[in-house]
Structure 1
Amino acid sequence: MSLKQWGAALLGCATLLLTACTVVDLDENGKPIMPADPNAKANFDNQTPQQIAQQTWQERVIDAAHKKALDATALSTQLKTPSPDAESVFVRLTSKVERVDLSNAREQKLIMTFNGQPLEVQTGPVIRGNAIRDATGFKFEDFTNQVQFAQLSRAYNREAVKNLPKIDESWTGKTATVLMAVTLNGGKAENAAALELKQEAQ
């Protein structure tokens, strides 16, 4: 092969390589911005539980709750055939507020009716349990730093309280809609934690 033919062959290869490449945007430092791998495990190694909660709140909690929330009928069905292990789910319930429990200023609750039984819905400022974290689908093995996973519940619970209206005795007797995370355990709904809460027009 002549030198000219070699040159043409090399040029053809170079053109082929260039057309096969994807154009990648550069950041302000001139470094390539690589698109996120949708199958990659979330990396929270250098983040605090509070940062993780704030970063994932909209997508993993609010958006997911609106898409996946069980209504009263679906929740009732699930409680009748309980899983052997406790599981947490998102629920949307519209019901009458039977009473408001303000006896503990740090752990205020709305007591609503579900299936003819009282259901305590935590509204803060302190919310207990892992219902919100576990309803997101996060698992222990998603975190290399297990302390983050353990503390993520409290961070999510604090995030929830930021978005809730203040409750008082005036809620009693009113119809309200609550979007919440609930832990289902042995056929009972436990540790209900409000995510969104509003009174319905009377």
Structure 2
Amino acid sequence: MKGKALSGMLVALLTLMLAACTVVDLDANGKPIMPKDPNAKPGYSDQTPQQIAESSWASRVQQPAEKQALSWADMETKSHTVKAGGSESVFVRAAGTVTAFDNSNERERSLTMTINGKPVKVLIGPVLRGNAIRDAAGFRFEEFTNQVQYAQLTKALNRHAVKQLPAVDASWVGKPAQALLAVSMGAGTVEDVVAVRLQQGNP
């Protein structure tokens, strides 16, 4: 009787254990595919900087830039709130006339636009310097594995931005243009101005 009782208890225990198990799908290598934790914070440890730039461009750069961009005048006003020695980056929407196209350095080409009566140098690449896009988009160091990955994201975002721009050449000079920009500000100063979107014509 004791043997039968023990067997019955084992069967019941095994049944309970099986009932408690969640069936998970297996990947091509036979490893379980675990569902994402809905409360987990976003992380990029398993992605390359280029993958991060491509997968997050619409949600973290393009859409926020379109919705939250400041006017050039508001950006200049905001720059005066930046502490001495500090910096801040924001998205800015601007329109003006292209007065110069500089491709003397083929890797760091630029346009000069007259915005609110002032000449503004707009970087168009293919190599863009600075962290303006990354910082305006609100990427934080805590989201990344280390400083190297965080720094590499700057270059990946800049490269991706250049791919979104139209072909720009000397024919743009003298014509009106609209721009969506990432701007790095110092205390009362404008530092790097990077093109996120460009198009010819008036608003």
TM-score category (smaller protein): 0.7 to 0.9
Deviation at 1:168, TM superposition (A): 0.9
Structure 2 SS opposite 1:138:
coil
Deviation at 1:186, TM superposition (A): 2.0
Q: 1:173 to 1:142 in 2, by over 3 A?
A: same
Partner residue of 1:108?
109
For 1:185 and 1:122, the matched residues in 2 are separated by 17
Mapped contact 2:53–2:160 kept (Cα < 8 A): yes
Which range moves more in the overlay, 180-189 or 137-146?
137-146
Partner residue of 1:79?
79
Q: Which amino acid aligns with 1:126?
A: V
Partner residue of 1:122?
123
State the identity %.
48
For 1:97 and 1:188, the matched residues in 2 are separated by 21
Partner residue of 1:48?
48
Q: TM-score, normalised by structure 2?
A: 0.79
State the superposition RMSD in angstroms.
2.5
For 1:177 and 1:90, the matched residues in 2 are separated by 14
Mapped contact 1:25–1:33 kept (Cα < 8 A): no
Unaligned ranges ≥5, structure 1 = 1-23
- Is residue 183 of structure 2 the alignment partner of residue 182 of structure 1? yes
Deviation at 1:185, TM superposition (A): 0.9
Q: Which amino acid aligns with 1:162?
A: K
For 2:172 and 2:25, the matched residues in 1 are separated by 51
Map 1:23-38 onto structure 2 (within 5 A): 34=35, 36-37=37-38
In the alignment of these two chains, the number of paired residues is 180
Which range moves more in the overlay, 108-117 or 129-138?
108-117
Q: 1:136 to 1:199 in 2, by over 3 A?
A: same
Partner residue of 2:96?
95
Partner residue of 2:17?
none
Which range moves more in the overlay, 100-109 or 148-157?
100-109
For 1:101 and 1:62, the matched residues in 2 are separated by 26
Q: 1:28 to 1:51 in 2, by over 3 A?
A: same
Unaligned ranges ≥5, structure 2 = 1-21
Which range moves more in the overlay, 54-63 or 135-144?
135-144
